[in-house]
Structure 1
């Protein structure tokens, strides 16, 4: 395959195989550029990260003329065995930056799927004959489905070992939306309980609680911020905003920037100076503080629900709250994080 033709793109950076450009949606695309036996090659790998691009480069160098980033038909079967599961988990850890907790869950579900699909070529697995019968009666179906779909997507998009037609989960297996737990029980922390508990916390844990109460971040985002985050100046003129806390990477893979007050900004700076933040010790410290304050215990994971509810009950527009919490849609905020918020009263006859 020779040098591809088409509209030229600006180079973003270089890599061992050539250069990286951006596509129309601003995503990175690794391009191979080589001169072999006097012939110039320039061809997209369709890969969006260095690991996948290096695998494509090996395939290209083995057969430059026959190279196809989508891959050629593979005769060897693909099994969900220990080596494949390990490679998938390493990719999730190093490329997707999954949390330790989610990696551990994925490992358990991968082992479960390996038992269910033992001896089956993944490209020949049937949704009706294999996947749905395995899921019948199995607990935590949404997570099991999400992991299997992720494996197939990885094999298609990153490894290029499967086609869409060989993926039994593509547009057929849907991850069911669980009924939000907060519909069954209130998960909002009363403001006065938050203030009482913080008085019984050591300064380090108090800073973490204040940052959560001021940002609505997940605990995992708080931990990433303490380890690798940063502070930026606020360039707007909104009242009460003194700076921006930057979490280096959220679940979606993009940096999360949250405008905060002066008090939260200072708490964030102190967390950065310390550089570490332990999840388990933090949770235990908060529960102990609740007991010392004589209030019902709550966990740090409830601050996201609380921030959404506090804001909407203060009259904030759900769309603004959704944007602040980095939700894709205000409906997510209403459904999962502000289910117990009472909208502001409007003028009525009585």
Structure 2
């Protein structure tokens, strides 16, 4: 059996049962408190209240059963050592519960790490898991020395402070602002006070479960937490991530709505009519350009006139989702729109500038809603204009790899979602086959 089985088992679903199981299999770690407790580090039982240090022997079922009875009868917590695996301990609680832990002395400080509960963890599983934990601890001490012990006193808030300074403030991570928002609104208030060395998988599961957010959004929180702990391991603050075995929640793919030909024509008619009355309406021009190119809003807002190849009818996108420069050919209608923008803006600057500012135009989401209302069609979002463009490409017979390149998808799997969302492309095939 995989020694990680119990950890994988409790991460299958974010519900009350899985969180309770995680708490049952978790154990607080503290490099300076010589004791332990189900209630956490702050209520740890002092070592003097536990059975003598030399209590121990080779762990067997009979051995564990005997000490369990002894703990229940005396009403005291007992610790016993496994003489077959140095460092592996069993904690017998007066309630009858048995927990495996690793206790390792590192430069005069006792470090406690949870292994799991018995019988969920068999004795052999516990030994294998304990051996790996001890090897990880030794490696961390060899690499980081005294820093490893100093970091064990750190709170999660202090770790996040370092992560913000070293990662999020450098401008390298494109999601930095979004991450900072999550940290400020959620992570600091709910997890910040916890001691880094004492954080468990159960803490992370409980945090995610209590978020009143969609599964996809909670998965983004999990991804951020994992990124913070992965960085912490690299920096030597911790040796193992408490979020390592937590799996993302299943995400229900939303319906990929797209305008039909009639709806798109009515929407474009309204855009043309409004633009004739106000030719310098940059937000309107931006929406029309998005409909004609299928580009992402964030990429297109930051398009500059210098990045338009006026001979080849190709634009260069620099502010892309994956950070890689991308060149995209545009259709004749989109190129005419670019030319009109050039006529009243000149050869430099934003293609779609904001009014009275040096920044590009703001995201025109409210304008999009008004356009749909004026066209007498359902309120399609700006991103659904991208779905509309992709669907029209597919239904016109465009090769899937061409669609992938035009949309800027990282993998063909993302593009395939548009294939399945467009039943019209199958009608010709089935009619020909059955006709």
Q: TM-score range by the shorter chain?
A: 0.5 to 0.7
Which residue number in structure 1 is paired with residue 296 of structure 2? 218
Which residue number in structure 2 is paired with residue 348 of structure 1? 433
> Which ranges in structure 2 are unaligned for 5 or more consecutive residues?
1-142, 343-349, 355-359
> Which ranges in structure 1 are unaligned for 5 or more consecutive residues?
1-69, 235-241
2:295 match: secondary structure: coil
**Is the 8 Å Cα contact of residues 182 and 221 (structure 2) preserved in structure 1?**
no
Q: How does 1:154-233 map to 2 (within 5 A)?
A: 154=228, 156-157=230-231, 160-162=234-236, 165-170=239-244, 172-182=245-255, 186-188=257-259, 190-202=263-275, 203=279, 204-226=282-304, 230-232=307-309
1:298 match: secondary structure: coil
Does residue 258 of structure 1 match 2:328? yes
**Is the 8 Å Cα contact of residues 232 and 238 (structure 2) preserved in structure 1?**
no
- The CA deviation at 1:86 is 9.0
- The CA deviation at 1:208 is 1.0
2:286 match: secondary structure: helix
The 1:338/1:311 distance shift into structure 2, 3 A limit, reads: farther
Which residue of the other structure, out of 386, 389, 394, is the alignment partner of 1:312?
394
CA RMSD of aligned residues (A): 3.6
Which residue of the other structure, out of 110, 120, 124, is the alignment partner of 2:194?
120
- The CA deviation at 1:325 is 1.1
Which residue of the other structure, out of 377, 396, 412, is the alignment partner of 1:330?
412
**Is the 8 Å Cα contact of residues 123 and 166 (structure 1) preserved in structure 2?**
no
Counterparts of 2:338 and 2:250 in 1: how far apart (Å)?
34
TM-score (norm 1): 0.62
What number of residue pairs does the alignment pair up?
265
Counterparts of 1:221 and 1:166 in 2: how far apart (Å)?
38
Which residue number in structure 2 is paired with residue 63 of structure 1? none
Counterparts of 1:88 and 1:165 in 2: how far apart (Å)?
20
Once structures 1 and 2 are overlaid, which stretch shifts more, 294-303 or 334-343? 334-343
Does residue 244 of structure 1 match 2:314? yes
**Is the 8 Å Cα contact of residues 229 and 245 (structure 1) preserved in structure 2?**
no
The 1:154/1:224 distance shift into structure 2, 3 A limit, reads: farther
Q: Which runs of 4+ in 1 moved over 6 A?
A: none
The 1:197/1:80 distance shift into structure 2, 3 A limit, reads: farther
Counterparts of 2:418 and 2:154 in 1: how far apart (Å)?
38
TM-score (norm 2): 0.51
The 1:87/1:165 distance shift into structure 2, 3 A limit, reads: closer
- Please identify the structure whose Cα radius of gyration is greater: 2
Does residue 278 of structure 1 match 2:390? no
- The CA deviation at 1:260 is 0.8
The 1:82/1:290 distance shift into structure 2, 3 A limit, reads: farther
**Is the 8 Å Cα contact of residues 180 and 336 (structure 1) preserved in structure 2?**
no
Counterparts of 1:336 and 1:93 in 2: how far apart (Å)?
36
**Is the 8 Å Cα contact of residues 245 and 259 (structure 1) preserved in structure 2?**
yes
